[in-house]
Structure 1
Amino acid sequence: MNTHPSTSLKISAWLGAAFLHIPLLLIILYAFTTEDRTYTFPPPGLTLKWFGVAFARSDMWEALWLSVRVALGATAVALLLGGLAAAGMARSQFRGKSAVNLLLVLPIALPGIVTGLALLVSIRRAGLDAGTLTIIIGHATFCIVTVYNNVVARLRRLSPSQLEASADLGARPLQTFRYVLLPHLATALLAGGLLAFALSFDEVIVTTFTAGSQQTLPIWLYGELFKPRQRPVTNVVALLVMVVTLLPILLAQRLTQGTDAMDGAGKSS
């Protein structure tokens, strides 16, 4: 059977990639333009001065550090709750399991505006003040899904015989977790955490409903778009956001390469 893709399929793939990435390349290009108002093509000249202007903005740095704190907090919550949910769902069989699984993955499938509105109502009912904590809670709702999906897939590929052998040899549950289970789950947890960080860092819609008066970097960036003289600065910051989110995604993809084989499946007959 011929496993090589046809020429038309290759062309379609390249066209799809171009459609997705040409706008990003334009943002990168106009981060270096000498023109501060219009997007003329080709740019009249190239300069690095806008990087200095952007990095001198104290409000930009405040928004950046808030985004980092929120992303780290949401990732920590996602690792804890997503890992525990995966452990409970991987091998358990109970009535309504499919419904519970759907509820766990639903937040990432729902439109952000629906999730944000639901969170806003819940925050007001709970009497909480919108701020860093509410942003973390909002981001954790969809970050949990990335950790859950990675960990539950890895647990399903782990042979129960390894855990049984550890118990037969006298290992306590904590020792089994540390020496048998955790090494199998380490890359899945790390990959899920990296993806959760990337998702949280560039989230806009849910943040709009949960941030109150605070500005994460994407919210700051959105506000600057309406200031014509700041367009090159917004391109510089957009480039920074792309770099910060791309690196965890690339690392997560590398960590999950070669994990299609059954972990701990033992010898094949």
Structure 2
Amino acid sequence: MHSEKASWGLKAAAWAGLAFLHIPILIIFLYAFNTEDAAFSFPPQGFTLHWFSVAFGRADVLEAIKLSLQVASIATLIALLLGTLAAAALYRHSFFGKDGISLMLILPIALPGIITGIALLSAFKGLGIEPGLLTIVIGHATFCVVIVHNNVIARFRRTSHSLIEASMDLGADGWQTFRHIILPNLGSALLAGGMLAFALSFDEIIVTTFTAGHERTLPIWLLNQLSRPRDVPVTNVVAMLVMLVTMLPILAAYYLTKGGESVAGSGK
């Protein structure tokens, strides 16, 4: 008779794996509150909120936060629209070229970010488009669409088509059927997909590096701070902010889609 309880060795390995993944994150959180302005003084000498006021008092930090929020919001809205329309077109009907379209939809998230960035930069240069806010948004939308599409199409596949047919048989038009039948069934999938897309866009750096031009999103600001050791406390505060902004939506999306058909695990 086999026991359902895991062995001590397996438990220890699991906890060791969690520690390996999360201790570096905890260190960033810890040093964001350190009273010392040295890069790393262990153990921390005290607890302070001083570096938060310093960080949010700097114009470059606020501009980077504003730009990242703006880009993530616009990219998420584009992804919600295009991803939902693509899922609606592909989930039920078969037609010539369907597999090719599906492949093209998921390709941006399957390719390494550096390949996507180089391809987008070449395309923008060929079209004479200067790198800036527009190019960053387009770059982020390419992989955000995949996130929304994966969530929505999985929900479509779990939604009984008989509900839609019954609504139409009872006299509802297309808009009424969408509003009262389809949209309520897609609500949590759209919310989860939107939050995942926002989180991935907010901390994206590889594609952004090729498409940003002179613009500096928050991840690019953090990358530039690596050459400024005197700003380490402020950098720790901003890094903690990035982790919170990206971690909380992903956790919320996980719980919204928990038990679904591999929806919550469709991140980049």
Q: What TM-score, normalized to structure 2?
A: 0.92
Please state how far the C-alpha of 1:7 moved relative to its aligned partner: 3.6
1:117 and 2:122 are equivalent in the alignment = no
Letter matched to residue 157 of structure 2: R
Distance 1:3 1:82 in 2: 41
Match of 2:264 in 1: none
Please state how far the C-alpha of 1:4 moved relative to its aligned partner: 4.4
1:236 and 2:234 are equivalent in the alignment = no
Distance 1:102 1:17 in 2: 34
Match of 1:175 in 2: 176
1:10-59 deviation line (CA, Å, top 9, x unaligned): 33322221111111111111112233233132123332221111111011
5 Å matches for 1:29-68? 29-68=30-69
Distance 1:64 1:157 in 2: 38
Please state how far the C-alpha of 1:258 moved relative to its aligned partner: 4.5
Match of 1:13 in 2: 14
Q: Which 5+ residue runs of structure 1 have no aligned equivalent?
A: 261-269
Match of 2:166 in 1: 165
Letter matched to residue 150 of structure 1: N
How many aligned residue pairs are there?
Answer: 260
Match of 1:154 in 2: 155
SS in structure 2 at match of 1:234: helix
Is the CA contact 2:31–2:44 (under 8 Å) kept in the aligned structure 1? yes
Letter matched to residue 213 of structure 1: H
Match of 2:129 in 1: 128
Distance 1:6 1:165 in 2: 52
SS in structure 2 at match of 1:91: coil
Of 86-95 and 136-145, deviating more is 86-95
Letter matched to residue 154 of structure 2: A
1:102-152 deviation line (CA, Å, top 9, x unaligned): 221121121111111111001111111111111000000010111000000
SS in structure 2 at match of 1:39: coil
Identity %: 61
List 4+ stretches of structure 1 deviating above 6 A: none
Q: Which 5+ residue runs of structure 2 have no aligned equivalent?
A: 262-268
Match of 2:109 in 1: 108
RMSD of aligned C-alpha atoms? 1.6
Distance 1:206 1:190 in 2: 24
Is the CA contact 2:39–2:233 (under 8 Å) kept in the aligned structure 1? no
1:78-102 deviation line (CA, Å, top 9, x unaligned): 0011001111111121244333222
Distance 1:4 1:155 in 2: 37
Q: What TM-score, normalized to structure 1?
A: 0.92
